[in-house]
């Protein structure tokens, strides 16, 4: 039979009692998480605004918030549709998947969701077949010739 070589001191007994009481208090506490849905909505609208504005979407953050609430903004339909698609794609990502991590097919489905109504059907959820072009503010192509002095390319 095990016989430990220590004595329970008053200090150790007090710590054990406090730990037990804290554990019981935590287990029986009702955590009010009413603010979590508000935080999730705020996060979704900020992510949507940031990501779509990088791509040239003209809507401001308050307008993105209005679109997320289902309100009319008077903005161009394509800009609103891009926001709606992005919010739907975020919901799909956050909902998770039974198949585990996002794979190639799921990524193409997300692309289809993001571009629905914005690109032709044959381009939604498919890989690009042409290279990107860089254009200036006047929509003129910009060509960057390779610099023979640079060795970091």
CA distances from 51 to 29, 34, 59 (A): 39, 27, 11
Please count the helices (runs of H) and the strands (runs of E) in the chain: 5, 0
- 91-147 per-position pLDDT tens digit: 888 887 666 778 899 899 999 999 999 999 999 999 988 877 777 888 888 876 665
Whether 57 and 83 have beta carbons less than 8 Å apart is answered as yes
Residue 118 and residue 73: Cα distance in Å, rounded?
A: 18
Closest to 118 in 3D by CA, of 144, 87, 80, 75:
80
What share of the chain in percent tops pLDDT 90?
53
28, pLDDT greater than 50: yes
Between helix 77-95 and helix 104-115 the angle, nearest 10°, is: 150
- Is the overall model pTM greater than 0.85, yes or no? no
- Whole-number mean pLDDT of the chain? 86
């Amino acid at each position: 039979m095990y016989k430990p070589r220590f004595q329970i001191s008053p200090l150790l007994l007090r710590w054990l009692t406090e730990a037990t009481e804290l554990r019981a208090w935590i287990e029986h506490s009702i955590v009010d998480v009413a603010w979590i849905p508000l935080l999730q909505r705020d996060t979704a609208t900020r992510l949507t605004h940031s990501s779509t504005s990088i791509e040239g979407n003209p809507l401001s953050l308050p307008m993105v918030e209005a679109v997320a609430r289902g309100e009319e903004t008077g903005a161009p339909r394509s800009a609103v549709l891009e926001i709606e698609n992005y919010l739907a794609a975020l919901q799909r990502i956050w909902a998770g998947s039974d198949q585990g991590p996002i794979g190639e097919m799921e990524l193409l489905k997300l692309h289809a969701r993001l571009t629905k109504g914005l690109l032709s059907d044959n381009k939604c959820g498919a890989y690009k077949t042409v290279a990107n072009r860089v254009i200036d503010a006047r929509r003129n192509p910009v060509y960057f010739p390779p610099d023979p002095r640079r060795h970091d390319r």
